[in-house]
Structure 1
Amino acid sequence: MTQFKEKYTKLYENLSDDDQIAFDSLNQEFDKNHVAQEAKYKKLYELVRNMIDNNQNYIDYYNQKTRVLAKNESKELEKIRGNFWIDVTILLFYFAVLYIAMTFFIGEIVLSYSVVLALLLIFVMVPFMNHGIKHQASGRGSHKTGASIIFLLLFVITNCLIIFMSSSFLQVLFIDSFDVSLVDSLLFGLFIIIAAAALYFILSSSEWSTKIIFIIILIYSLGRILYPLDVLNGLATFIVKYFMYIGLVIIVLMQLYRSRKKNR
């Protein structure tokens, strides 16, 4: 827990119920404006401190909706960008591991529209996760039970779509299956994980040189994923056989650039 979060929490606990509700809402509005955690709690502490020092409640002292106040106060605060996509990538990584586990369990690589549907559900469930589970975990989500239930329901459905992707129950969504060797299965699973990890670092990194390195890794991983599936054969073959060398040159150049930048 950060210094300002501790200070804010102590003051928050002594507020009236109405003021706690107001600051819960304000807290959530700061999150919607992508304010960094340390900056958010520092600002919340300042806001509640000023209100208490003037011996007033939220409505009398600030006299504006929490959405408006948070928007105005957020303009000069440090921001965190891309939270949605980072959360998508984290869930994607989890379901990628689940898909790989099922691939080994089934003994073949399965292509199914159920996997496509699972990918779409990941995008749908992230907002419910952010407004439900995360808020409840932080102690300010008492009014977000509905969002949490929807997230958990979507999460279970997505798990089922992947776990039962080759079952007769989802046969209508089945596309094709590929009987590959154990080595190819291991490589397939490995590069799915690498692709998910690369996507995470692309979205979370602030340096463009780092992004380029992981874009190269992502492209190569996608080529390795497609290679055993007889999908986009020409492109997959080019990526596996030739793009690796091009990518290595670019990665080395980016690493040299980063080293020179740090030594300046």
Structure 2
Amino acid sequence: MTNYKNEYKKVFSRLPEDDQLAFNSLDSEFDKHFVTEDAKYEQLHIMAVSMIDSGQNYTEYYNAKTKDVARVASKKLPKYRSKYWSDAAILGVYFALLFSATIFLFGEIVISLVLPAVVILILAMVPFMNHGIKHQSSGRGNKQMIAGILFLVLFAGANLLILFMNSNTLSPLKVAAYDASLADILLYILFVMTAAASLYFMFSTDSWAGRIIFIVLFIYSAGRLIYPFDVLNGLSSFIVQYFMFIGLIIIIIAQYLRSKSTGES
């Protein structure tokens, strides 16, 4: 089986600088369309060889912007599912750990408007992570460097918000807080991490039955997280008291339907 990645790199190394810049841009554009790696490098190899055989440069041969060329070519290429939400959930697990550490160190369980701000920063930094940090090794130019820098700025900002959530500056953003015992803190941290992990597996699993299980776990954990506070009392009480039983019924039904469909197939 031909290793098109290596073959493409050999061809790429012989291209003039302007053509290398164009093909770097094509590479990045294919990533934006979620083309699988094998298909991407095979297509890039075919395109580069065809251009070289014609004796023309990129501008003469393709006569179109790289984003347009990639958009047309990617229509017939296999694609993988966007990992945006699973990448966001991975970052969520990290920040959940950091949040848990601050709770443990300060001995205070807090709900603050800082937390939704951190969520917004996570959602904003994922594209920069995908097109910056993950692609730095490929050396695709200044755009990836800028994306990497923006990711680091947003990442550092989110870290600082959580670390200084209990500071005098950010204390006005607190919605509710209370001093808890060590046992309560550890239990709260357990549900923080369960919610974060459930969110990750919810987006990363391909099984709809498995996804239902993690949705149930996430909802129950979220209910337990807001239950100690005077926030959405009716909803949190319902989740804590009844939702796990409802969730178990949903999980059992989902597993039954899954096993039934598997048996029929």
- C-alpha deviations, 1:118-143, integer Å up to 9, x for none? 22222222232233222213432444
CA contact (8 A) 1:191 1:225 kept: yes
Partners of 2:217 and 2:156 in 1: CA distance? 31
Match of 2:117 in 1: 117
Greater mean deviation of Cα atoms: 81-90 or 238-247: 81-90
CA distance 1:37–1:196, shift in 2 (3 Å): farther
Q: Offset of 1:68 from its aligned partner? A: 0.8
Verify: 1:84 aligned to 2:91, yes or no.
no
- What letter is aligned with 1:157? G
2:84 match: secondary structure: helix
Distance 1:173 1:179, change over 3 A: same
CA contact (8 A) 2:194 2:221 kept: yes
**Residue 31 of structure 1, CA deviation:** 1.6
CA contact (8 A) 2:176 2:229 kept: no
Q: Deviations over 1:159-208 (max 9, x none)?
A: 11100110123233233312223232222222222222222232233443
Q: Report the residue type matching 1:147 in the other structure.
A: A
Give the structure-2-normalised TM-score: 0.89
Pairing 1:203–2:203 present = yes
Write the distance in 1 (CA, Å) between the matches of 2:4 and 2:250.
Answer: 43
1:161 alignment partner in structure 2: 161
Residue equivalent to 1:40? 40
**Cα distance between partner residues in 2 of 1:37 and 1:194:** 33
Matched position secondary structure for 1:169: coil
| Corresponding residue for residue 105 of structure 1 | 105
* Greater mean alpha carbon deviation, residues 24-33 or residues 222-231: 222-231
TM-superposed deviation, 1:250 = 1.9
CA distance in 2 between counterparts of 1:241 and 1:3 reads 57
> What secondary structure sits across from 2:111 in the alignment?
strand
SS at match of 2:59: helix
CA apart distance, 1:261? 4.2
Q: What is the distance in 2 between the residues matched to 1:91 and 1:133?
A: 14
Corresponding residue SS for 2:26 = helix
- Residue type of the alignment partner of 1:176: A
Q: State the partner residue of 1:137.
A: 137
Q: Structure 1 residues 22 and 109 mapped into 2: Cα distance closer, same or farther (>3 Å)?
A: same
DSSP 3-state at the match of 1:229: coil
Amino acid in structure 1 at the alignment position of 2:239: I
**CA-atom RMSD in angstroms:** 2.2
Deviation, 1:47, is: 1.7
Query: In structure 2, how many angstroms separate the alpha carbons of the residues matched to 1:43 and 1:111?
Result: 50
- How far apart in 2 are the matches of 1:216 and 1:184? 22
Instruction: Give distance in 1, aligned partners of 2:53 and 2:146.
Output: 36
Identity %: 50
| Structure 1 residue 228: Cα displacement | 2.2
- The match for 1:54 is 54
Q: Which runs of 5+ in 1 are unaligned?
A: none
Contact 1:132-1:141 at 8 Å conserved across structures: no
How far apart in 1 are the matches of 2:8 and 2:226?
Answer: 51
Q: 1:189 to 1:42 in 2, by over 3 A?
A: farther
Alpha-carbon deviation of 1:27? 1.0
Q: What is the aligned partner in structure 1 of residue 31 from structure 2?
A: 31
Equivalences, count: 263
Q: Within 2, Cα distance between the matches of 1:91 and 1:224?
A: 22
Task: Please give the secondary structure, in 2, of the residue aligned with 1:34.
Answer: coil
Q: Assess, with a 3 A threshold, how the Cα gap between structure 1 residues 239 and 50 changes in structure 2: closer, same or farther.
A: same
Taking structure 1 as the reference length, what is the TM-score of the superposition? 0.89
CA offset at residue 152 of structure 1? 1.2
Separation (CA, whole Å) in 2 of partners of 1:144 and 1:49: 26
Matched, 1:191 2:191: yes
- SS, match of residue 126 in structure 1: helix
